[in-house]
Amino acid sequence: MDTRPIGVFDSGVGGLTVFKEIRQLLPHEDLIYFGDTARVPYGGKSIKVIQKYSNEISRFLEIQGIKMLVVACNTASALALNRLKNECSVPVIGVIDPGVRAAVKAANGGLIGVIGTRGTINSEAYQKRILRLRSGIEVLAKACPLLVPIVEENVIDSEIARLAIHMYLKDFKKVSSLILACTHYPLLKNVIRDYLGPEVALIDSAEETAIEVKEMLQARRITGDESHIGLDQFFVSDSPESFTEIGEAFLGRPMQGGCFLHSWQNDD
């Protein structure tokens, strides 16, 4: 029995989609979430900068005594995951591989689409993993940089969101499955589904990542006390107030009653 918390981090609030799935699957585990809201988005930043930010946050979470680190950010998973696995003293899980497996299965040999930040798409992390899992399959990938600020500004159900979806996805109506390769994008699922139609399987890796977290906890024998009610704790690098407003939309519940919100600044 291991009562230490699980650490989850993202460039902003998008990783709360992963956090929510972990909480639902593992109600007895304590969770700590870090949202780097002062430096969001990561998508247009260099590999060196993303690795630096990811390292800073992982060190901070390790100081909090975590037993596992979940990189709930596609850009960081694409560009910093291997480095974090080498440098962290705890197991590290990213969000790419779980999403790829689900997309390949749903596509059933058809065309797979991938949308994400510039950093994620340019890294070709998803494209390479898809082809490694199913060689010869066709992949259509595109960066959609405007979608993160649309979610961060909480204008999801708006004409701006619909225009952006049309601009980015007009060539994606032929795909069999579409990987939402950014943890912000699941909040746009309804808009994307309305545009592409119900025949396209929309894949977000949050649920699959939560399953992988559970399996790794069991494999490493570091599961928590199942009689315990898990505690949620949140850290942000900028305003807790704005994080709370959009965060409650992500979680589908108030951030209160056992949820502690802290503002954090890196001193380096």
Distance separating alpha carbons of residues 91 and 217, to the nearest angstrom: 9
Q: Which token pair is 182?
A: 């950014």
Tell me how far apart the alpha carbons of residues 198 and 186 are, in angstroms, rounded to a whole number.
15
Q: 86 to each of 17, 60, 62, 75, 119, how far by Cα in Å?
A: 26, 16, 14, 18, 21
Q: List the catalytic residue out of 73, 88, 144, 259.
A: 73
144 is catalytic: no
List the catalytic residue out of 88, 144, 182, 259. Answer: 182
Residues 6+ apart with CB under 8 A from 135: none
Is 73 labeled as catalytic in the residue annotation?
A: yes
Rounded to an integer, what distance in angstroms lies between the CA atom of residue 144 and that of residue 166?
Answer: 11
Tell me the C-alpha distance between 128 and 54, whole Å: 22
Strand pairing partners for 34? 9, 235
Which residues are marked as active site?
Answer: 73, 182
